[in-house]
Structure 1
Amino acid sequence: MMKRILRASVTVCTGLLLCTILLAGCIRIVKDGGTTVPAATPTTTPAPPMILITLERTPCFGTCPVYSLKISGNGAVVYDGKDHVKLKGVQETTISAGAVNQLVLEFENTGYFSLNDSYTKFEITDMPSANTSITIGRKTKSIKHYYGDRSAPKQLTELEKKIDDTVNSAQWIK
């Protein structure tokens, strides 16, 4: 009998303790003037969205440089030279976060997300392609751009050049 009473007392005390803890989280703090504000809750800063920019230059029937670039949001750059380049294989470097942000702005100013997914008409043969993509968080867009397709907007070619210029890919190509 004594054990039951003791067990009931422990159960009641534990229940009261849990209720007290739960109620403490709901307390409102009264400031001067009598208005109540919710108790402070911890805030977290959301992580910046993942950013990945890619550029791939494909072969032509001549000596066009063939390579790819990957640029991460933290500024990490990975170059992979394949053919008709000064340096074949993987090279790595970094660019500033500001340079990455500037590239993202270039994509936005180009209207990249509203462009066609491909410009691949063979109006002129023997030309290379430049394939680009950008990922911002969960949003990704890729464009295949064959240089023999005259319908491709000039801004797309300028964006491709801007990517090369930003990472100084000439150091590995020429």
Structure 2
Amino acid sequence: MRLSFLFLLAALLGAASSAPAQNLVSDKNKTKTKTVSLSRTPVKGKVKVVTKKPVAAKKVEAVPVIVFRRTPCFGTCPHYEATVFSDGHVSYIGYRYVPLTGPHELKIPVATVNTIMDDARRLNFATYEERYSQGSTDLPATILSIRQPNGQLKTVQAEEGTPPELEALMKYVAAEIEKVSGGTNAAADR
């Protein structure tokens, strides 16, 4: 019995190796159809193997050129952050005491972005200290990050004692962001 089983197995394997196998390319998507026969008489069944098209790479979003944040205080200070890209696209998140709360996509003119970047270069933004504070505990911070020519973000946090020209730049950025976000709800803005 074992011997007849082995002969039958050998016959089947021999027939399979000598049977014709066809690979057909049926369309431009490279769908392959493969017919496999295990005996000398062809079998009508087909197995389709579909190869998927390569997935297109995700578009890499540009890096932000400006990041602007206003932090909370113990009062009604506006609390939000805005990430600005060179094309004027703004990713905004409003937290408290602002008309727009939650995440929003906004747009400012490219000329405004260029003006901010030019002013930062003119002021040599990279040379400012990382933090301006004189020890007060209830002051909100204004945090401005500017992408430098070397690709790094330079961040300055200002609470009090900020040089006037830097404070003017920060007020300008805040005003432009608040124009497109609806202003602030705070009675006493910094």
TM-score (norm 2): 0.58
Q: Return the alpha-carbon distance in structure 2 between the equivalents of residues 157 and 60 of structure 1.
A: 18
Q: Return the alpha-carbon distance in structure 1 between the equivalents of residues 167 and 78 of structure 2.
A: 16
**4+ runs of 1 displaced by more than 6 Å?**
none
SS at match of 1:173: coil
Greater mean alpha carbon deviation, residues 52-61 or residues 157-166 = 157-166
Q: Return the alpha-carbon distance in structure 2 between the equivalents of residues 98 and 74 of structure 1.
A: 9
Is structure 2 residue 146 aligned with structure 1 residue 134?
yes
Q: Return the alpha-carbon distance in structure 2 between the equivalents of residues 170 and 73 of structure 1.
A: 18
SS at match of 1:113: helix
For structure 1, the residue ranges without an aligned partner over 5 or more in a row are 1-48
Greater mean alpha carbon deviation, residues 51-60 or residues 62-71 = 51-60
Q: Return the alpha-carbon distance in structure 2 between the equivalents of residues 166 and 84 of structure 1.
A: 17
Q: Partner of 1:83 in structure 2?
A: 96
1:94 to 107, 113, 124: 107
Larger RCO of the pair (alpha carbons < 8 Å, separation 6+): 1
Q: Return the alpha-carbon distance in structure 2 between the equivalents of residues 126 and 104 of structure 1.
A: 30
* Matched-pair contact (CA < 8 Å) for 1:85–1:173: yes
1:93–1:107 CA distance, 2 compared to 1 (3 A): same
Q: Partner of 1:104 in structure 2?
A: 117
* Cα RMSD after superposing both structures: 2.0
Quote how far apart the aligned CAs of 1:121 are. Answer: 2.7
Question: 1:126-163: per-residue Cα shift (whole Å, max 9, x none)?
Answer: 110011101145132111112xx32x201222111111
Quote how far apart the aligned CAs of 1:51 are. Answer: 5.1
For structure 2, the residue ranges without an aligned partner over 5 or more in a row are 1-61, 186-190
- Fraction of identical pairs, as percent: 27
Whose helix fraction is larger, Structure 1's or Structure 2's? 1
Q: Partner of 1:157 in structure 2?
A: 167
Q: Partner of 2:182 in structure 1?
A: 171
SS at match of 1:107: helix
TM-score (norm 1): 0.63
Spell out the pairing of 1:56-75 with structure 2 (5 A cutoff).
Answer: 56-75=69-88
Q: Partner of 1:37 in structure 2?
A: none
Question: 1:62-96: per-residue Cα shift (whole Å, max 9, x none)?
Answer: 11010001110111012110011122111222122
Greater mean alpha carbon deviation, residues 55-64 or residues 108-117 = 108-117
* Matched-pair contact (CA < 8 Å) for 1:70–1:78: yes
Q: Return the alpha-carbon distance in structure 1 between the equivalents of residues 124 and 148 of structure 2.
A: 14
Matched positions, count: 122
Q: Greater CA radius of gyration, 1 or 2?
A: 2
Q: Partner of 1:125 in structure 2?
A: 137
